């Protein structure tokens, strides 16, 4: 996490993600909670996790974090699929696979979904 003045950014796998103002305030609150927990048991880890697990030395399980988000109405799968479909309509298969960390065959399927959906839309528009 990068904090500079009024701006909070996340550094994820070498990419900088600038956050909207409300989200960065929530993230700062979470960071303070995590840092307080980490100071209690600094021997467990050299750096505090933004979302610590039961043990401060380990992050929260992604499945559990997903469950917590779903309880608050955030459906990650639908958003992820929508984003992947949008990317598949704009990017070559090899770039999509590399960007999303999936296999070429999976990226090819997504590219096929994007192309088929777009062509069906054009066909339906020309019939009207």
Q: Is residue 13 part of a domain?
A: yes
How many independent structural domains does the chain possess?
Answer: 2
Measured CA distances, 15 to 10, 38, 121, 128 (Å): 8, 25, 34, 44
Domain span at 46: 2-59
pTM > 0.85: yes or no: no
Q: Look at residue 2 and tell me whether its pLDDT is greater than 70.
A: no
48 with 81, same domain: the answer is no
Q: Which residues contact 104 (CB under 8 A, 6 or more apart)?
A: 93, 94, 97
At 23-69, the pLDDT tens digits run 787 888 887 777 776 666 666 556 677 777 777 677 788 888 888 88
Strand partners, 12: 15
At 86-103, the pLDDT tens digits run 888 888 888 888 888 889
């Amino acid at each position: 996490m990068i904090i500079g003045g009024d701006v909070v950014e996340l550094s994820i796998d070498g990419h900088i993600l600038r956050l909207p103002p409300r989200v960065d305030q929530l993230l700062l609150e979470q960071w303070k909670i995590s840092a307080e927990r980490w100071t209690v048991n600094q021997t467990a880890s050299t750096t505090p996790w933004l979302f610590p697990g039961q043990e401060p030395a380990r992050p929260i399980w992604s499945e559990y974090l997903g469950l917590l988000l779903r309880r608050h109405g955030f459906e990650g799968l639908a958003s992820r699929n929508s984003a992947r479909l949008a990317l598949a309509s704009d990017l070559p298969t090899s770039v999509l696979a590399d960007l999303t960390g999936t296999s070429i065959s999976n990226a090819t399927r997504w590219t096929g979904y994007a192309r088929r959906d777009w062509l069906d839309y054009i066909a339906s528009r020309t019939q009207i």
